[in-house]
Amino acid sequence: MAQADVARVDVEEEVTRAVDAVSIRGVTKRFGSGDSEVVAVDDIDLSIADGEFFAMLGPSGCGKTTTLRMIAGLEFPTAGSLKIFGDEVGTLPPNKRPVNTVFQNYALFPHMTVLDNVSFGLRMQGVDKATAATKAGELIDLVQLGGMEKRKPSQLSGGQQQRVALARALVNQPKVLLLDEPLGALDLKLRQEMQLELKSLQRELGVSFVFVTHDQEEALTMSDRIAVMHHGRLLQVGSAEELYERPINRFVADFIGQTNLVEATVADGDMIVLGNGSKVLAPSDYAAGTQVAMSLRPEAISIGPRGSVPAEHRADSLDGVVSSAVYLGHALDYHVSVDWIDLEVRAPAVGSQGRFQPGDEVSIWWDRSSNWVVAD
Amino acid sequence: MSGITEPRGWTKGALTTTSWLVYFFFYAPILVLIIFSFSDSRNASVWGGFTTVWYSDFAADSELTGALWNSVRIAVVATLISVVLGTMSALALERFRFRGQRVFDALLYLPVIIPDVTMAVMLLLFFAQAAKWFGFPKGFGTIALSHIAFCISFVSIVVRARLGGMDDKLEEAAMDLYASRWQAFRHVTLPLIMPGILGGGLLAMTLSLDDVVITQFVTGGGWSTLPVYVFSLIRKGVTPLINAVSVVMLVASMALVALSLLTQRLRGDDAVRQS
Amino acid sequence: MAAVVERDEIDVEPFVVGEEATPEFEAANIAQERRRGFLIALPAYAYLIVFFAIPLLTVIVYSFATRDRFGGADLTSFNLDSYVDLNDELIRTIIVRSAGLAILTTLICLVVSYPFAYYMATRSETVRNIMLVFVMIPFWTNFLVRNYAWYVILGTDGPLSRVAEFLGFGPTRVLFTQAAVVLGLVYGFLPFMILPLYASIERIDGRLLEASRDLYATGLQSFRHVLWPLSLPGVIAGSILVFIPSLGAYVTPQVLGGTGTTMLGSYIVTQFLTARNLPFGAAMSTVLMVFMLAATIIYFRKGGRTL
């Protein structure tokens, strides 16, 4: 299965669809000059469809927030085209763009009440006080904060502040809603609740949400499609399934979910040679001799006593010794030492495989379709 | 201080006593002054029975009341102008980047560092030259101009602290919500720095009302402010009249501070606590 | 859930269309921001240049001028005479005395403020704020009045004298002595020492002192090895904030001091008002100012963070 073309295919598909909510072509952003020049965003092409829940994912400093700010108008691209529903907006200031942002720490106006905060955007557009108050009230009810209109942000909990930020943005009926790591400041339980609420809110409203996060689990949970960025470059765009099952390179494979990366060299179009010399069937498009890694998700590996490998998997198996075993409640997490490497294996807690202890001699095997070859 | 550090044993007693002594040191002289302003005696340091004659003498003394009125007028003018200029300079330094910014920053700090004697000398020579070349007379104008010169820096420092402590994302949020630069300033920035502006204004007014040396040097044409006048009285000969004048000045400063605290409370402390 | 607001219900101005971004646009935008910032700074900038920088230069220029017959300054002949004249025994005495009194004032302020600041830092938040307010109130009252209060107390037959008599010391007059000046300076500048010290101590994690106790240190050792070093930035900041104004003090020595206590400030003033030796006074002022600047730069390097 060809990996190198996965990202390309997405772009080509876009062209045939209806007008995209956000269309980014060749956008670059450079800060500073001369020796201190930093390329925050490096020539990216991106399309976000109307009504899509889209996430931009990557580690800190990868350029995802900068890209979001460029859509919002808080930064101007150094070069490239940025269109919102077909209209070029690259040079427009933020107050002239039909998008609104939910900021990381909510940026609620501390000296205004909840009602004044939410109606701010409408008032700035010239809507009269009464109408703005009514509309704002409706949104406040929508995010389930009815009754809190007169409170000030300092009197609200983190979760409530976040809803106010949402209402404040949505009341203006933006064509695209931008969210900059909005759930980062919440504790785990609240975050999970909000993830589901945001998802259902988006589905109800039908507006495109563009969401920036460094938490891959969050991105996978909520998004229709995800763009993975690193060092200012766009690595891969696709659905959660595409990114998880068919990562385009080593970084994406490692960043999304847990995986084992086994170093290998390409022997030919069908086989790779692992570090210990054993050959494994793994189709790829890379030239012979390329340094690659075989990506195996822990849950895709089966474990059993030494020699118990089923016949059909014998070519995709390795022998090793259990180095650690952790009981997670819902699963068992093993680390198995195989010759020169340590592989993580996740086995269901309930099953016929039984429990292994450190020191047990075991065999591990996987389905041929589960392995996936990636390069840098 | 985080963590439990309650002092133990004899240190606790020593520390508490020291603290009370410090407060006593601070307030006793003021109390003495107030008490002796009612003393019926020629000697300002001696108690000779209760009287309010000194206060009525103060009210009747046209030179004194004239000086008081001058002080107030100069303080108001100086405060208003230095608050505007100080706030503008704070905004320029905190929210923008421009050529010559560092020089401006340094220039703003100098009036704070310089001892008033030097500043008095500077302005004296400057206005003397100005008088020679442009015929600019010494008096109300020169005093006000001088006060503004040192007040701008203080206002700027206070407002800058306020601006620096403010979440700068707020202005971005305002623009994201369709506010123009000016609207963002008016509706978001200004309300949030207002406590700083008021604080700076209070500081400016206090400094202006307090000033002795600089005013003494740049005054002319019979213009006098209250502190300068009192200062010269002290050199000449002291009576409890000066005590009475001092108490009036004291009460005035306290009233000013109380007023500013009150306005802060009325405008809502939440904004203050947030930023 | 309430009804979802339908799109295009609100009558809003249709949005404007922009152009594609280019490096030129970005550069132009940055330039525009620069201009705006400069314009906003301009009024204050111009004001300070005219009424501060130029006067400053005037003093320096005058310090190189010659004293003329009328008690003014002859600006046509420049020389270093005034600076040479500074190297005079009287001047040296005055400088040493001023520096000495300023140092003494600083030390006394430090010794008095430290326990006070420490005590304040260990109180609850409410008590701390109340204590702070009561420290600040005298600061807001008129400076001249505060000095004058001591004038009243320390005079002959004044309250202090009465108390001393009562205690058997006989009538004492502290007024017009160096002690009176130091007292006045300490009184005036104590808040300037308390505030930075408090800010610095307040930031220290109290658990460090607890740990020190836990490791068998006595109170004194904890102070010497933990508390003092950690509070040093505040000590330095406070010391400079007290020393600098004390050195250039004018009002306090004039009110509370006598002929034997002439300090730098008063001496400079007499050059202008009485002795009419303008270049000499200008030279003294310049030297004083240069010294202050140097001291302040040290302050910003070592302790500037605590304010």
For A186-214, give the DSSP string. S-HHHHHHHHHHHHHHHHHH--EEEEEES
> Does position C5 have pLDDT exceeding 50, yes or no?
no
> Does position B250 have pLDDT exceeding 70, yes or no?
yes
Which H helix or E strand runs over A366? strand A361-366
Q: Nearest 5°: phi and psi at C265?
A: -55, -55
Asked whether the beta carbons of residue C16 and residue A77 sit closer than 8 angstroms, the reply is no
> Does position C307 have pLDDT exceeding 70, yes or no?
no
Q: Which residues contact B87 (CB under 8 A, 6 or more apart)?
A: B155, B156, B159, B193, B197, B200
A278 in contact with chain C, both atoms CB, cutoff 8 A: no
Residues of C in contact with B101 (CB under 8 A): 37, 41
Asked whether the beta carbons of residue A107 and residue B167 sit closer than 8 angstroms, the reply is yes
Asked whether the beta carbons of residue A81 and residue C29 sit closer than 8 angstroms, the reply is no
- For residue A202, give the chain C residue with the closest CA: C4
Asked if A87 and C19 count as a contact pair (C-beta separation under 8 A), the reply is no
Enter the pTM of the model.
Answer: 0.83
Closest approach of chain A CAs to the CA of C249, in angstroms? 43
How far is residue C96's CA from residue C105's CA, in Å, rounded to a whole number?
14
Q: Partners for A (CB, 8 Å, 3+ pairs)? A: B, C
How far is residue A21's CA from residue A225's CA, in Å, rounded to a whole number?
14
Of the candidates A81, A131, A142, the beta carbon closest to that of C2 is on A142
> Does position B32 have pLDDT exceeding 60, yes or no?
yes
Asked whether the beta carbons of residue C138 and residue B217 sit closer than 8 angstroms, the reply is no
Closest approach of chain A CAs to the CA of B173, in angstroms? 7
Q: Which 3 state secondary structure label does DSSP give C271?
A: helix
Interface test mutation site (partner B, options A33, A111, A139, max chain B beta carbons within 10 A): A111
Asked if B129 and B121 count as a contact pair (C-beta separation under 8 A), the reply is no
Least confident range of A64-73, B205-214, B215-224: B215-224
What would the pLDDT profile of A37-80 be if each residue is shown by its tens digit? 889 999 999 999 999 999 999 998 889 999 999 999 999 999 89
> Does position C86 have pLDDT exceeding 80, yes or no?
no
Q: Which residues contact C91 (CB under 8 A, 6 or more apart)?
A: C85, C267, C284
What would the pLDDT profile of A161-184 be if each residue is shown by its tens digit? 999 999 999 999 999 999 999 888
Average pLDDT score over chain B: 85
Beta strands in chain C (DSSP E): 66-67, 73-74
- Find the mean pLDDT for residues B257-273: 62
pLDDT for res A282:
78
Asked whether the beta carbons of residue C2 and residue A141 sit closer than 8 angstroms, the reply is yes
* Dihedral of the alpha carbons of B73, B78, B83, B84, in degrees to the nearest 10: 100
Asked whether the beta carbons of residue B15 and residue C115 sit closer than 8 angstroms, the reply is yes
> In Å, what is the CA distance from B223 to each residue of A323, B215, B231, C272?
93, 10, 14, 19
Interface test mutation site (partner C, options B2, B15, B36, B118, max chain C beta carbons within 10 A): B118
Alpha-carbon radius of gyration of chain B: 23
How far is residue C167's CA from residue C280's CA, in Å, rounded to a whole number?
48
Asked whether the beta carbons of residue C248 and residue B118 sit closer than 8 angstroms, the reply is yes
What would the pLDDT profile of A178-192 be if each residue is shown by its tens digit? 999 988 888 888 899
> Does position A295 have pLDDT exceeding 70, yes or no?
yes
Closest approach of chain C CAs to the CA of B14, in angstroms? 9
Asked whether the beta carbons of residue B152 and residue C118 sit closer than 8 angstroms, the reply is no
Which H helix or E strand runs over C121? helix C89-121
- For residue B172, give the chain A residue with the closest CA: A74
Give B25: exposed, middle or buried? Use CB within 10 Å, 0-12, 13-18, 19+: middle
Q: Cβ of C80: how many Cβ atoms within 10 Å?
A: 10
Asked whether the beta carbons of residue C2 and residue A89 sit closer than 8 angstroms, the reply is no
DSSP C267: H
pLDDT above 90 coverage of chain B, percent: 30
Q: Which 3 state secondary structure label does DSSP give A328?
A: coil
Residues of B in contact with A167 (CB under 8 A): none
Asked whether the beta carbons of residue A152 and residue B270 sit closer than 8 angstroms, the reply is yes
Residues of B in contact with A109 (CB under 8 A): 170, 173-174, 187-188
What is the strand order of the sheet A361-366 is part of?
Answer: A301-305, A361-366, A317-327, A331-338, A341-348
- For residue A141, give the chain C residue with the closest CA: C2
Least Cα distance to B92 among C44, A93, A94 occurs for C44
- Max Cα separation, chain C? 93
Of the candidates C52, C113, C268, the beta carbon closest to that of B111 is on C52
> Does position A15 have pLDDT exceeding 60, yes or no?
no
Give A37: exposed, middle or buried? Use CB within 10 Å, 0-12, 13-18, 19+: exposed
Contacts B–C by Cβ distance under 8 A: 264
pLDDT above 90 coverage of chain A, percent: 43
B262 vs A202 pLDDT, higher one = A202
- Find the mean pLDDT for residues B172-199: 92
pLDDT for res B273:
40
- Find the mean pLDDT for residues B125-130: 87
Which H helix or E strand runs over A225? strand A225-230
> Does position B274 have pLDDT exceeding 60, yes or no?
no
Pair of tokens at residue A246 = 């068919």
Least confident range of A27-41, A341-355, B152-166, C174-188: A341-355
